A and B are shown apart, each in its own frame.
Chain A
Amino acid sequence: AQSVTQLGSHVSVSEGALVLLRCNYSSSVPPYLFWYVQYPNQGLQLLLKYTTGATLVKGINGFEAEFKKSETSFHLTKPSAHMSDAAEYFCAVSDQGYSTLTFGKGTMLLVSP
């Protein structure tokens, strides 16, 4: 089975600061990688995904992530944080022959004024 490590269960930034959420994965096959966001008491919303092609992936709400095979990483970034970005973020990698996902434990992003 694959695995995902998200560094930091909580990350705090000031409004307007750079957001960097770290994700490292292990996979025995070419990975498909995903970032999801979850607002309180809501479901999962797909931010972005990498399957094939360009390694820099742009998603919704100004987020982007870069697939770095040599570092087995897929870090999520946003140049300028907004208060509305406060939520929990999950990194995930495809598993079981691409039929399921393996998730990291999540990172809670806190944004202060």
Chain B
Amino acid sequence: NAGVTQTPKFQVLKTGQSMTLQCAQDMNHEYMSWYRQDPGMGLRLIHYSVGAGITDQGEVPNGYNVSRSTTEDFPLRLLSAAPSQTSVYFCASRDGTGVDYGYTFGSGTRLTVV
């Protein structure tokens, strides 16, 4: 049981390049979400999904795309990287049922855009 797996762990991009940050979970969780962490800003929600085929925008969605074709995977796409997207990205998932639950986080992807 691997939990939430994020790849890659580190990435350097040039301005204008595109890339996909991968997030996979093996817990059959319905809910998945992407956050970015910047110094002094905490973690901010980029996009989230409540099930396969359903996605929605969070607080800071501009410049990012997501899709959820399977329960397990929730990739985050940067269409044209900008230096302002330099950040640490975390993916999280949680079970949609029950009242006593927690969120499982991946170990993060540190992205630098030069």
Interface residues, chain A, with chain B CB atoms under 8 Å away: 1, 4, 9, 34, 43-44, 46, 49, 51-52, 90, 92, 95-97, 99-106
Complex CA–CA separation, A95 to B101 (angstroms): 14
| CB-contacts of B76-93 with A (<8 A) | 90, 92
Which chain B residues border A105 with CB–CB below 8 Å?
A: 40-42
Nearest Cβ on chain A to B24's Cβ, whole angstroms? 16
Nearest Cβ on chain A to B82's Cβ, whole angstroms? 23
Which chain A residues border B103 with CB–CB below 8 Å?
A: 34, 46, 101
Interface residues, chain B, with chain A CB atoms under 8 Å away: 31, 33, 35, 40-45, 48, 50, 56, 58-59, 90, 92, 94, 96, 99-103, 105-108
Q: Is A1 in contact with B59, judged by CB distance below 8 angstroms?
A: yes
CB-contact partner of B44 in A43, A44, A51, A103, under 8 A: A103
Which chain A residues border B107 with CB–CB below 8 Å?
A: 43
Complex CA–CA separation, A84 to B99 (angstroms): 32
Which chain B residues border A104 with CB–CB below 8 Å?
A: 42
Complex CA–CA separation, A49 to B107 (angstroms): 20
* 10 A-B pairs (CB sep. < 8 Å): A43-B106, A44-B90, A51-B101, A92-B43, A99-B31, A99-B50, A99-B96, A100-B31, A103-B43, A105-B42
